[in-house]
Every structure is written in C-alpha cells, then in structure tokens.
Chains A and B, each alone.
Chain A
Amino acid sequence: MSTNATAIEHLQAAAKPWTETLHEWVTTVDHKRLGILYILYGLSYLVIAGCEALIIRIQLIHAHNNFVSPQVFNRMFKMHGTTMIFFVVMPVLFGFANYLVPLMIGARDMAFPRLNAFSYWLTALGGLLLSFSFLGGSGLYGAGNAPDVGWWAYAPLGAKAFSPGHSTDYWTIALLVSGFGSVGTAINIIATVFSMRCPGMHLGRMPLLVWLNLVMSGMVLLAITPLTAAQLMLLVDRYLGGHFFDTQAGGSATLWMHFFWIFGHPEVYVLVIPAFAFMSEIIPVFSRKPIFGYPVMVGATVAIGLVSMSVWAHHMFTIGMNSYANSFFAITTMEVGIPTGIKIFNWIGTMWGGRILFKTPMLFSIGFLGQFLIAGLTGIIQACAPVDWQLSLSYFVVAHFHYVIVGGILFALFGAFYYWHPKVTGRMLSETLGKWHFWLFVIGFHMTFDVMHIPGILGMPRRIYTYEPRPGWETLNLIVSIGAFIQAAAVLVFVNNLIVSYLKGAKAGNDPWDAWTLEWAVSSPPAVYNFSTIPVVASRRPLWDLTHPEDLDSLYE
C-alpha cells in the first residue's frame, strides 16, 4: 500500500468518534480484533482471579486466621479455580490462536468469521454470568452468593439440597455457554487449518504453533462436550427430578466424578499444548536454529492428545477403584510422560549449540522448561496409585497443578506476550520492565509453589478454611503467601509494561526478532486483510528462504 494511502487511513482513523470505534470492535468479525478481545477479556479476569487467590492466601497466612468467613473462603477458591481455567487461560490461548493461526498459514481470516465472533461473545457471556453470581446468586433476595462447591462441584455438593439458591446454576450455565463458545472456536480453528492454508503449505510445512493448535482444537471437541453433557444432567437433577448423581435415588456420585475428569484432565492438555506451541516458536528463533526434530514434535503432540484422553481417573485413585482400573490409569498417566519428555528433549536439542539470545521471551521460555519438567515429574510421582493415596487431597497436589498451570502455562503465556506484542501493537515491550517482571515472578513463583509442596507432604489438607498451628505449618504458609504477593507485584509490572509500551514503546517494524514464520512478513500491526497477495511457501521457514536464497530450507526438508 502506498504512503499516501497509509496517511489517508491514519487520518480516517483519527477522525472517527469513539462510539464508532466501539461499534467497530463490538461488531467485528476480524480474527485479529477478536483475538485481541479474547486476550483483553482473559487479562481482566486474571486480575479478578488473582485477587481471589490473594484473599485465599491472606486467610491461610497463619493458623486460626479469620480474615474472611468460611463461606467466603469457599466461594473464593471455587471462583478462583473456575475463573482461572475457563475465563483466563482458555480465552487468552484462544485469543492467540485466533490472532496467529490465519497469519501463520497465509490466510486472510478464519474459515468462519461470524462463527468466530459468535464464539467469542458466548465465552464473554459465560464469564459475565459466573461473575454476576456474586450479586444474583440468591436470585431476587439480593444477597450475594457466588458458587462455593469446589471447581469440580462433586456430587452431592451440586445437588439442590446442598446448594440451594441459584449460585450453582450460574456456574453450570456459565460453563455450558462458554463451552459452546469453545466448541465453536475449535471447529473454526480445525476448518481454518485444513482448508485455508496458502499454496505450498502442506501439513508437513505448517508452523508447529498451527499443528499444536489443531491438536488442541481436536481435544476441545472431545473434552469440553462431556462436561456440557454432565452439566445438562446436573440441571435435570436440580430442576426436573432427575437422579443421575443422586445416590439416595439410585444415581451415582462417582459417575459425576468420571464425567468431570473425562473433561478435566484432557483440559490440562488443552491448556498446555498451546503453551508448547509458543515454546516451539520462541525457542528456535532465540536459539537461531530451526526446531530440532519437527516430525517427532508433531508426532509427540498427537500422541499426547491421544493418550491424555485415557488418563482421567488418576484423579480418582482414592475413591476405591479396583486394582485393574488403578493399574490402567497409572500406566497411561506415566505413558503420557514419554511424548512430553520427547518435546522437552527436542527443545533442549534446539537450544544445544545455538546462539542463544536472552531476551525476555526466551527467559520465560527457559523458566517454562525447568518448571514444567518439575511439574511433570511430580505428576509422575502421583501417577503411582499408592503414593497418590498418601498425597491426594493435600497441598502437594495444589502445588503440583499450580506448577503446571503457573510454572508451565503462565510462563509460556508471558513469553508469548513479549514475543508477539510487537506484531499486535507495532511497539516493543520494554526489555527492562520485562526482566523485572521475569525475575520477580520467578522469585514469587518458587517461594509459593516450591514451598507449598512441603505442608502437603506434612499432611496439610487442601480446601481447608484454616488449620492448627502444627510445627512448620505457619512458617511455610507465611512464605507461600508472601510469594503470592511477589507474583502479584510482578503482574503489576507486566500490566504497567503493557500500558507504557503501548503508548511510548519503541517502534517494532515488521520482524523485530528476525523470525521466519509468515506473520512476520506483514506489517505490525497487520492490515485488516493480512496479505495483499496470498503467499506461496516452499519450506517451514518461508521468511528465511526469502532472506537467505543461498541457503534455502526447502533444499533440506
């Protein structure tokens, strides 16, 4: 586009009243804008769910504390868990997928732009419904009453007798609605990847981020829908006299647990596979090498997707399954560590011998590698049923899954923010603030979640409102809570960095990292139509081929 055209576009943008801009954003079907909306929505809920976590940690900072009531405490940990999983991590990951997948495959938009917008607004409505329960959970009586039945709502807690009012209904319907949104987005990603790739980009040349989001979307189809079905049955139990999960009428509480975890454990991989995707793009660029073992990485991801659908009942070792079931789920859980280990090996293989640049995205990636490895290892420890019998329902489990979600996924997400922010906004994030963010977060994270393993091993149960001042418990909990506040401070540095850099950050240019996938070929931020001419690619690193015609990747792939 010519300079004159650019100037006219800028003038037109400047002249628009804010209502028109708002209208454009609300009615947009552009995958990039929807991606940004998903991400901003997730970040807003990150602040809310983070505050809920801090309330939990203040309550547990010393024994016999009564900072909040037991009822409020229960609501906080229910809302923290649900919000973080469904309305922070998933929307942010979907946001990145929305933004990046079409750009990376050389497409002008998603396969179904209107479905894309519809899916986003369903997700947004789901989160708002859940939040509204703080105000409307008791219906017209006016008293606030957010759901307080744990993020899994085990039967009979979800039943009408144990959960009167509408708080649990808000939770159920919020997840139903956002679940439909997730399925819509997953279908869209799958159709986009299979049907919208630019010429030359056959499946073996797709960027790993695209491959991994494809696998993630396939898993969403199979993992979210069981939760949808279970939620519908819960509604039937609550309002139509059904007894699916009512043990006193012949139903089964265990059935709910199975249905919940058939969703719940694959969901962990739904969240972590996009984090793997970020690592698979960032690590090669900052190691100045192509990814090590591309086909194996794809195979390992598909294997993780398949095996992870058969591990769910390792969350249920303590309910008294028979030894065959215990063995099956222990073995499959350990098996999933094999392809995951292959991936870690390949990322390290990519770094090995590379010219590593320790920019902020790479720092977060290195943090991810070490922490996710530890998270995986504590997972394998718990895959052993007799060990799980000792550790289940203790703070060890809380430490383990926060190691996965925060130490793994959130670190990868932060890395992704620093890596793609220049593309989205046209401006670089501050490296200085980025390093402050990284180191503060590392310190806070390890203070909180390394230490949290110990009270778990000492026998401190999870989900408790308060505890006895047993030897070591108070000091350990104090350290854990201080670490949580340091993490909160790090997030504030990050938010500050986002705002300051958006306003005053250095201009990024098209390809500030000298990267090689297609999104870096277009301007920052990209035009509405992404590509004025659809590109043709001949290798996995099309930009490398363009800038290094003497050393084409296509000669070796």
Chain B
Amino acid sequence: MSSLSIPFTQATRSWILPDRGKVAMASLIIAESAIFTIFVVAYLYYVGKSLSGPTPSQVLETPIFYTICLLSSSLTVHVAGNFLNRGKQGAFLTMWSLTFLLGGLFLFGTGQEWHRLIYEKASRSPRTSSGQPITRS
C-alpha cells in the first residue's frame, strides 16, 4: 500500500499553527458557555414564578465566600500552569494544592447549600391556614 504517489516539495520555511490543546480548550469553553447560558436563562425565567415555593430567597443566602473560592481557583490553576511551564515544580505544587483546597471549599459550600435546600425546604415552604407546610410529593 503506497502512501503517496505524487511527490510534493518539502517545506522550506517554518510553518507555525496554533496549539491544538488551546484551540480545543477554547472550543470546550464555548460549548460550556452555551450550556450554562441556557441554565441561567431558565433560572431567570423561572425564579419567582413557583406556585408552591420555597423561593431561593427563602432558603438560600448569597454564597459570597464560596463564590470567591470558585473564582480564585481559576486564577490559582492558571498560575500553577505557568509555574509548570517554567519548570518550577515546588511553586507549581503549592498553587496546585491551593487550587484543590479552594475547589474543595466550594464543593463543601455547595453541598451545604443543597443540604439546606433539601432538608429545610418543608419547614420554610408556604403554609396552609392550619400551619401545615405545603409540600409537593
């Protein structure tokens, strides 16, 4: 099985193309953005319209600290990547560990939020005149 029947000339000068990893990651971020745009649109559309409650303001607080953790982890992993590229193993491990810590804190906060949402939902739901919470099966 021959691979090339017609000889092409060889490249005479360097040919530089974008890094495939970066192109792929940019594409993935675009796809993720599209998914989350739909989630956000659905949330904004639905918020306040629930007929049975509870509304987010009844059961959730704005998670300022955990939001800072989430956003900061993007920065630390970026810095870690830079250290890795420059061969600074120790600094990389420090920032990498910090990223894990921040990510872990965020996950812990999110878990807490869900726990509250699930287990405190009934007690904060709108109540009937007899004081019984309105819950949905």
Q: Using a CB–CB distance below 8 Å, which chain A residues touch chain B? A: 1, 6, 9, 111-112, 183, 186-188, 190-192, 194-200, 217-218, 221-222, 224-226, 228-230, 233, 241, 243-244, 248-252, 255, 259, 262, 510, 521-523, 525-527, 529-537, 542-543, 546-547
Give chain A nearest CB distance to B133 CB in angstroms: 15
Give chain B nearest CB distance to A505 CB in angstroms: 18
Q: Is the CB of A196 within 8 A of B20?
A: yes
Q: Is the CB of A536 within 8 A of B9?
A: yes
Residues of B within 8 A of A197 (CB): 17
Q: Binary interface profile of B, 4-15, with partner A (CB < 8 Å = 1, else 0)?
A: 111111111001
Q: Is the CB of B15 within 8 A of A222?
A: no
Q: How large is the interface on B (under 10, 10 to 19, 20 to 34, 35 or more residues)?
A: 35 or more
Residues of B within 8 A of A229 (CB): 34-36, 38-39, 42
Q: Binary interface profile of B, 33-57, with partner A (CB < 8 Å = 1, else 0)?
A: 0111111001001100111100000
Contact partner of A225 (CB less than 8 A), chosen from B2, B6, B38, B46, is B38
Q: Is the CB of A187 within 8 A of B27?
A: yes
Q: Using a CB–CB distance below 8 Å, which chain B residues touch chain A? A: 1-12, 15, 17-21, 23-24, 27-28, 30-32, 34-39, 42, 45-46, 49-52, 136
Q: State A198–B4 Cα separation when bound (angstroms).
A: 14
Q: Is the CB of B31 within 8 A of A225?
A: yes
- What are 23 of the A-B contact pairs (CB < 8 Å)? A6-B2, A186-B27, A187-B27, A188-B24, A194-B23, A200-B11, A217-B27, A222-B30, A225-B31, A225-B34, A225-B35, A225-B38, A228-B35, A229-B39, A229-B42, A249-B51, A250-B52, A251-B49, A255-B46, A521-B4, A522-B3, A536-B10, A547-B6
Smallest Cβ-Cβ distance to A229: which chain B residue: B38
Smallest Cβ-Cβ distance to B29: which chain A residue: A221
Q: State A536–B13 Cα separation when bound (angstroms).
A: 11
Residues of B within 8 A of A112 (CB): 20, 24
Q: Is the CB of A191 within 8 A of B20?
A: yes
Smallest Cβ-Cβ distance to A530: which chain B residue: B3
Given contacts A190-B23, A251-B46, contact A535 B34 (CB under 8 A): no
Q: Is the CB of A523 within 8 A of B30?
A: no
Contact partner of B3 (CB less than 8 A), chosen from A241, A249, A526, is A526
Smallest Cβ-Cβ distance to B17: which chain A residue: A195
Residues of B within 8 A of A547 (CB): 6
Give chain B nearest CB distance to A293 CB in angstroms: 27
Q: Is the CB of A195 within 8 A of B20?
A: yes
Residues of A within 8 A of B51 (CB): 248-250
Q: Is the CB of B27 within 8 A of A226?
A: no
List 5 tightest A-B contacts by C-beta distance, closest first: A535-B8, A229-B38, A195-B20, A250-B49, A199-B11
Given contacts A243-B50, A244-B46, contact A200 B15 (CB under 8 A): yes
Q: State A250–B15 Cα separation when bound (angstroms).
A: 58
Given contacts A112-B24, A249-B51, A536-B10, contact A195 B1 (CB under 8 A): no
Give chain A nearest CB distance to B68 CB in angstroms: 26
Given contacts A522-B4, A535-B8, contact A230 B50 (CB under 8 A): no
Give chain A nearest CB distance to B99 CB in angstroms: 23
Smallest Cβ-Cβ distance to A227: which chain B residue: B38
Given contacts A191-B27, A262-B38, 7 further A-B contacts (CB under 8 A): A190-B24, A191-B21, A230-B38, A252-B49, A522-B3, A536-B8, A547-B6
Interface centre among B8, B10, B21 (most CB of A within 10 A): B8
Q: Is the CB of A546 within 8 A of B6?
A: yes
Give chain B nearest CB distance to A295 CB in angstroms: 21
Residues of A within 8 A of B6 (CB): 521, 543, 546-547
Q: State A217–B28 Cα separation when bound (angstroms).
A: 12
